[in-house]
Amino acid sequence: MSAPPRVLTVAGSDSGGGAGIQADLKTMLALGTHGMSVVTAVTAQNSLGVQGFWELPADAVRAQYRSVVDDIGVGAVKTGMLASAELVETVADLLAGTDAPAVVDPVGVSKHGDSLLAASALDSVRTKLLPAATVATPNLDEVAQLTGVRVTSEDGLRRAAAAVLAYGPRWVLIKGGHLAGDAVDLLTDGSEELLLRAPRHDNRHTHGTGCTLASAIAAGLAKGDDVPTAVTAAKEYVTGAIAAGFALGGGIGPVDHGWRFR
């Protein structure tokens, strides 16, 4: 029996299991791929927020990456929480030397508003990490953090996309989930454009949404889908996961990565 497509997540660990590498690996399994992981940071995290995090040394991140890629190989890479400028630059160098599409989720702040990226790392994200991305997937807070562009309505999505594309990713998916109304995302490479719209579900349990979406895109790319196809399928998957999100602990619960199996 042949192995399934291989996807690698380079991200932080969420001890509560709702986001980070735990969400990534669940998503990859649900979408028929083999998930592998490079841990960049360990968080103490639950449904109420992030109580602390500890980043790993760059050498440990590099060793994990080389161990997996050099032996097992990889069909696509997804990045999440990278915490510091040193780790951002380390991972950017690794991506540049890997012949596989990369989905960059420029994680800056957790669902609960906790900072997961040092302010000193923003320039490295702009100049090193985004140019290595096949698809960058910032939410509106991350767009503002990286570019200074603030979007308050659907009309501003194109302006946000242009600002992010200026840093060099091949495609950008601007996630409009923080806007009122339908959940609208804009995918563009500067010439081709796709507006993805889904109904907004009245469910507060949305922890891990961004990680899940980026991982689903990476899974599609590892299967050989082109970017618009992978993103469209990922949007459908994460919309279902949000609709099925469930309470866990005393705060914001996770999306349901296994909703298709219920």
Which residue is listed with tokens 């005393």? 250
Q: How many CB atoms lie within 10 A of CB 119?
A: 10
**Which residue out of 90, 209, 212, 239 is catalytically annotated?**
209
Establish whether 108 is a catalytic residue.
no
Using CA atoms, how far apart are residues 196 and 228, in angstroms rounded to an integer? 10
Which residue is listed with tokens 């996309």? 161
| Contact yes or no for 253/247 (Cβ under 8 A) | yes
Using CA atoms, how far apart are residues 104 and 213, in angstroms rounded to an integer? 11
What is the C-alpha R_g of the chain?
Answer: 17
Using CA atoms, how far apart are residues 188 and 161, in angstroms rounded to an integer? 7
Q: Which residues of 53-73 are buried (b: 16+ CB within 10 A; e: fewer)?
A: bebbebeebbebbeebbeeee
Establish whether 239 is a catalytic residue.
no
Establish whether 235 is a catalytic residue.
no
Side chain identity at residue 181, one-letter code: G
**Which residue out of 40, 211, 235, 253 is catalytically annotated?**
211
**Which residue out of 12, 176, 208, 253 is catalytically annotated?**
208
HSE of 251, CA atoms in CB hemisphere, 13 A = 12
Establish whether 175 is a catalytic residue.
yes
Side chain identity at residue 82, one-letter code: L
Establish whether 208 is a catalytic residue.
yes
Give the max Cα distance, the chain. 50
Using CA atoms, how far apart are residues 160 and 36, in angstroms rounded to an integer? 32
**Which residue out of 176, 210, 245, 253 is catalytically annotated?**
210
**Which residue out of 188, 206, 212, 239 is catalytically annotated?**
206
**Residues with catalytic annotation?**
175, 206, 208-211
